Amino acid sequence: MIQWKQKTGQFAEDRRDERKCPSVISIEQAIDEAMRYARTFLPEGKVATYIPELAHGDPDQLGVCLITKDGTVYHDGDWRQEFTIQSISKTICLIFALQTAGYEKVFSKVGVEPTGDAFNSIVKLETKTLHPLNPMINAGAIATASCCMELEDPFGSFMDLTRRLCGRESIQLNESVYLSEKKSGMRNRSMAYLMQSDNILECDAELALDLYFRMCSVSVTTEDLARYAVVLANDGVDPATGERLVENWIVRIVKTLMVTCGMYDGSGEFAMKVGIPAKSGVGGGIMASVEDRMGIAAFGPALDAKGNSVGAYRVLEYLSQTLRLHYFAGKDL
Ligand code: DON
C-alpha cells in the first residue's frame, strides 16, 4: 500500500484542528478522514437554482474517486452518482478547440488572464476588453466553442473526445438539464450576442450557445472525471492504455488555466489552500489533476457563494494536506 507522511496543514480550520491525524496515513484513511471532515461543511452550501433543473440536487450528497497513475481506484460516498459536468466541460472544450481550430484561432478569440470576477460576469466584456479574459469563464467558453463550429457535428465530436478522456463509452447528455439551461440561460445569451456584435463569434450566437449548453449538460460520475484528471496528470497519455489522447502543449495550457482560473474568483485561495490544478462546475463536481501522480474528482451539489462545491473543495483541501499533494508541498517529509 502506498503511504505518505502526514503534515499538519497551515490553513487548518478550527474543526480540523480538533481532529487527531496520525503521522503516516494511507490513501484509504485520508479519503475516509477527508469525507468526514468535508461533511461538516455541507450545511454552509446551497444547491444551484438559477438553472431550474439543478435545484433537484441533494445538498447532503458527497462522493470522491481518486485514481493513481498505476491504475488503483479509491472511492467513497456518492462516487457513482451521475451529475452534470457543467463548467468542468470548459477544459474539454478548450482541448477540443485547440485540437480542431488551433492555437492562433482560439487565442485570437479569448485571453488567458484571470478575471477576479464571477464565472458569469459580463462586466469586463464591455469595459476592459472586447474579448473574454479566459476560456474558463462562461463568455470565454462560448467564444472557445464557437471556434469548433466548422465541424460537421461539433457536439458529436466533443462527446467522442469526452468519452475517450473519461474512459467510458456510455457517457450521455442529460436532456432535461440541457433544455433547462437553454431556456433559462439569458445571461449567457446576453454575453453571446454582445460577442457576436463585436465580431468575436464567427457564427450565430444561438449556434455557439447551443453547443455550450450541451457541453455543460453532459452527465458524468466522479470516476469519469478522475480518469480524465489522471490523463492530464500523465501529460495527456492514458496511463491505462499508453495511448496519447491530448498533445503535450495542449495539456500544459489547460493545466495552467486550471491553476489560474479553474475556481473562478476563488482560484487564488484554492491555489494557496489546496494547490492542485482543478476545475469546478455548478453541478457540484471538482476535478483535480496531481502532476505525475493521480487524478481526483469529488462531488457534492451544495455550493459556496462563488459556485464551487463546498464538500468537494473540503475533500480536496484535506487530501492535499494529508497526502502532501500541493504543488509547493516541498520536500521536508
Ligand atoms: O452556464 C452556466 O452558468 C453553467 N452551465 C455553468 C457554470 C458553472 O458550472 C460554473 N462553475 N462553477
- Alpha helix (H) residue ranges in 84-221: 89-100, 103-109, 123-127, 138-146, 154-166, 175-184, 186-197, 205-216
Report the alpha-carbon distance of residue 225 to residue 287 in Å, rounded: 6
What is the whole-number distance in angstroms between the Cα of residue 119 and the centre of ligand 1? 7
Decide the pairing of beta strands 218-220 and 172-173.
Answer: antiparallel
Q: Cell numbers at residue 170, please?
A: 456510455
Residue to mutate, 219, 220, 282, ligand 1, most ligand atoms under 8 Å from C-beta:
282
Give the residue among 206, 106, 191 at the shortest CA–CA distance from 147.
Answer: 106
Question: What pLDDT sits at residue 40?
Answer: 97
Q: What does residue 194 show for φ and ψ, rounded to 5 degrees?
A: -60, -45
- 267 noted as active-site residue: no
Instruction: Write the pLDDT tens digit of every residue in 135-179.
Output: 999 999 999 999 999 999 999 999 999 999 999 999 999 999 999
CB 258 within 8 A of CB 308: no
Report the alpha-carbon distance of residue 317 to residue 16 in Å, rounded: 11
Question: What pLDDT sits at residue 223?
Answer: 98
CB 81 within 8 A of CB 61: yes
Locate cell 478569440: which residue?
109
Give the residue ranges of the chain where pLDDT is below 50.
1-23, 333
Ligand 1 lined by 84 (C-beta under 6 Å)? no
Q: What is the DSSP code (8-state) at residue 129?
A: -
Question: What pLDDT sits at residue 119?
Answer: 83
Question: What pLDDT sits at residue 5?
Answer: 40
Measure the CA angle with vertex 172, ends 190 and 86; round to 5°.
35
What is the whole-number distance in angstroms between the Cα of residue 307 and the centre of ligand 1? 8
Instruction: Measure CA 168 to chain center.
Output: 18
Report the alpha-carbon distance of residue 63 to residue 96 in Å, rounded: 28
DSSP 24-71: EEEHHHHHHHHHHHHHTTGGG-B---SSGGGGGS-TT--EEEEEETT-
Ligand 1 lined by 120 (C-beta under 6 Å)? yes
Reduced to 3 states, what is the DSSP secondary structure of residue 260? helix
Report the alpha-carbon distance of residue 8 to residue 21 in Å, rounded: 8
| Residue ranges at the known binding site for substrate | 87, 138, 181, 188, 212, 264, 282
Report the alpha-carbon distance of residue 132 to residue 305 in Å, rounded: 22
Report the alpha-carbon distance of residue 137 to residue 252 in Å, rounded: 19
| Active-site residue (options: 228, 264, 313, 318) | 264
Report the alpha-carbon distance of residue 321 to residue 17 in Å, rounded: 13
- 282 noted as active-site residue: yes
Question: What pLDDT sits at residue 17?
Answer: 43
Residue 80 neighbours by CB distance under 10 Å: 12
Report the alpha-carbon distance of residue 25 to residue 37 in Å, rounded: 15
Question: What pLDDT sits at residue 156?
Answer: 98
Ligand 1 lined by 86 (C-beta under 6 Å)? yes
What is the whole-number distance in angstroms between the Cα of residue 54 and the centre of ligand 1? 11
